[in-house]
Amino acid sequence: MKININKTIFNLYSFLFIYTMINREFLFFGLDLRYIVLILGILLLFFKALNLIKNPEYLKKKEKKEKDIIYQILIALFIWSLISNISWLWNGLEAFPTQILNQNILLLNNLIAIIVYKNFKIFIKEEKIKKQIIFSCIVLVVSFILVGMGYSLSQISGSDVRSMVYALTSVSEHKNIFGGGFRIAGYAEDPNYASLFLILGVVTVLQMNYKKFTKFFLLISFLISFGFSCSKTIILSFLIALIYSFAITYFKKKGLPKIINFLFAITIGMIVIILPNSGLLGSHLTMTTRFKMWNMARDMFIQSPLIGNGINSFKSYIESVYPGWYVQAHSTYWQLLSETGLIGFLIFILLIVESLNNNKLSKYNKYLIFIFFIFVVNFETLQLQIFVYIIYVLSIFDDKKENGEIYEE
C-alpha cells in the first residue's frame, strides 16, 4: 500500500496541534510538543513549495473558487502583528529577548497553522479532528482529577510554570461552582482557558453520533470539570450568545443579520475602550485590576496609535511601572491596540464581522465563534492555537460541507 507522506505528516501535525491546544502544559518526557508542531508545519509547507516548483502549472490549472476572506484577514492580522515588532527599535521599553522571541514563535506557529490548514484542506476530516478534541478534553479532565488529588503538574508530566495551577484560595474570585475555594486548570494552565476548552468539548460531543450513554458520560464529565474551572467570563459569554442567537434569528427574517453583526463588532470594540473608565464593577477586585491594566494599555496606544509598540511590549511597560508585574494586558482587544496599534485592531474588528457573516457556518460553530469573541475581551488569545481552531478550522469544516468536498482517503 502506497503511503502518502504529506497526508501522514498532516495527520500527525493536526493531532499534535489539537492536543497541545488544549493540554498546553503537557510535556512529553520534558519536551514541549508545540515545538514539534512548529517543525512539522514548516516541513509541510516545504513539501508544498517543492510540489509547486515541480508542477508550476498546478496553480494555473486549479479552479478558481470563492475567495477565502477569513483566511486573508487572518494572514493580514498575523503578518501585521509580526511587522509591528519594528516598534521595539524606538518604543524605549526594556526588551526581554527570550520572552519576546517566545511570543513571536507562538505567533509564527499560528500563522503557519493557518497556511497549513488552508493548503492541506483536502486531508481534513471533520469527524477525526472532533474525536481529537474529545480525546484531548478527556486528558484534560484526567489532569483535573490528578491535580485535585494533590499531585503537582511536574509529577504528571506537566510544566510548573504557573504556581497557581491548583488555585486554592478563600477569595470569592476563585470559588468554583460547587462552592469550594479553588479552581482547577490542569494541563490547560489557566482555569479560564480550561473552561473554554471544556465548553468546546461539550459542543463537540453534542455534534457527534455517539451512543446515548457515551454522550451522556462525556457531557457530564466535561460539565463537572467545567464547574471546577468555573470561568465567569465563559458563563457570561454563554448568556450573551443566547441573546445574540435569538436576535439573529429574529432579524434574519427581516434580512438584517449583517447589520446586527456589524453593530456587535463595533459595540464590543467601543465597550472595551470605554469600560475601564465607566465606574462599573469598581468594587470587584479582579475587574479593578483588569481596568488598571487596560488603562495602561490605553496609555501605550496613545504613544503609538497607528502601529503599536510591538508584540510583548505591554509586559515590559507594566513591569517598568510595577516591578515584578511582567504580565499580559488580559484582553485580546487591548493587546492589539497597545501592541499592534489601530491597524491591528481594525483588522481584528473586520475579522469579527466577516466571521459572524459567514453563512456557511453551522449554528453550533457560529455559537462557539460568538462566545470566543466575548471571551477574548478578558483574555489574550492571539498567540494561542485555539484562536486558529475557533476562527478558521471550524469554518473549513462547514466550507467543505457546502462545496461537497471530501476527505482524501
Name the nearest CA neighbour of 337 among 272, 245, 257: 272
Name the nearest CA neighbour of 18 among 154, 139, 111: 139
24 lies in which domain range? 5-269+340-403
Residue 409 falls within a domain, yes or no? no
Residue 289 falls within a domain, yes or no? no
For residue 308, what pLDDT is reported? 97
Helix (H, G, I), strand (E, B) or coil at 107: helix
Residue 248 falls within a domain, yes or no? yes
Name the nearest CA neighbour of 321 among 340, 339, 295, 344: 295
For residue 170, what pLDDT is reported? 44
User: One digit per residue, pLDDT tens: the chain, 409 residues?
Assistant: 566 899 999 999 999 999 999 999 999 988 999 999 999 999 999 999 988 877 766 555 554 555 789 999 999 999 999 999 999 999 999 999 999 999 999 999 999 999 999 999 999 999 999 999 999 999 999 999 998 888 888 888 888 765 444 555 445 567 888 877 788 999 998 899 999 999 999 999 999 999 999 999 999 999 999 999 989 889 988 888 888 878 877 777 666 778 888 888 898 888 888 877 765 555 555 567 888 899 999 999 999 999 999 999 999 999 999 998 889 999 999 999 999 999 999 999 999 999 999 888 888 898 899 999 999 999 999 999 999 999 999 999 988 776 666 666 5
Q: What cell does 52 get?
A: 509547486
For residue 352, what pLDDT is reported? 94
As a whole number of angstroms, the distance between CA 383 and CA 369 comes to 17
Number of structural domains found in the chain: 1
As a whole number of angstroms, the distance between CA 63 and CA 297 comes to 45
Residue 277 falls within a domain, yes or no? no
Residue 116 falls within a domain, yes or no? yes
For residue 101, what pLDDT is reported? 95
Residue 46 falls within a domain, yes or no? yes
What DSSP string runs through 178-221?
A: TS-SEEE-GGGSSHHHHHHHHHHHHHHHHHS---HHHHHHHHHH
Residue 139 falls within a domain, yes or no? yes
Helix (H, G, I), strand (E, B) or coil at 28: strand
For residue 164, what pLDDT is reported? 43
CA dihedral 48, 51, 52, 53 (to 10 degrees): 120
For residue 117, what pLDDT is reported? 97
Residue 298 falls within a domain, yes or no? no
As a whole number of angstroms, the distance between CA 252 and CA 371 comes to 20
Residue where the block lists cell 489574550: 380
